Structure formats: structure tokens, C-alpha cells
Amino acid sequence: MILLSKKLSISMITLIFLLIVIFSAGFFTGIYTSNTLFASEELKELTEKEKIEDFEYMYDILKDNYTHFYK
């Protein structure tokens, strides 16, 4: 009787653990592969002016934060 309940509890713990792993894997896979998480609307092509503004912004951040940027 004690042996049967021990096997049952080990089986139940194993089953619960496997269910947690399966649901967690599905949840995190859904988050990291979902495009709606990172982009709420369709991506659009940037204009030449927007590209230059982005480059200048990045350049200013690098220039201000990295001491050896000009070497």
C-alpha cells in the first residue's frame, strides 16, 4: 500500500513537472516568435531623410558615450 502511494506521488510529480515544462516552452516560444509583440503596425520603408536622421542620432550617441570612438 505504501509502495503504491509512493509510485503514485512520484508519477504525479513527474506529470506536473512535464506539464509545466511543456506549457512554459509553448508560452515563451509564442512570445519570442510573435511579431505583434515588437511591432504594432506594419514596418514601412524609411525615407532618405529618416535614414540620415537615424544615422546622425546613432553617431551622436556613440561620439558622446565612447571615449575611443575616433581612434
- Summarize pLDDT for 22-60 with one digit per residue, the tens: 777 766 666 555 555 555 566 678 899 999 999 999 999
Range of the domain at 24: 2-36+46-65
Give the residue with greater pLDDT, 46 vs 5.
46
DSSP state letters, 7-62: HHHHHHHHHHHHHHHHHHHHHHHHHHH-HHHH-SS---PPPHHHHHHHHHHHHHHH
Assigned domain for 41 exists: no
Contact 58, 65 (CB under 8 A): no
Assigned domain for 11 exists: yes
Assigned domain for 71 exists: no
For 67, the grid coordinates are 571615449
Assigned domain for 18 exists: yes
Distance CA 58, CA 66 (A): 12
Q: How many domains does the chain have?
A: 1
pTM of the model: 0.40
Assigned domain for 22 exists: yes
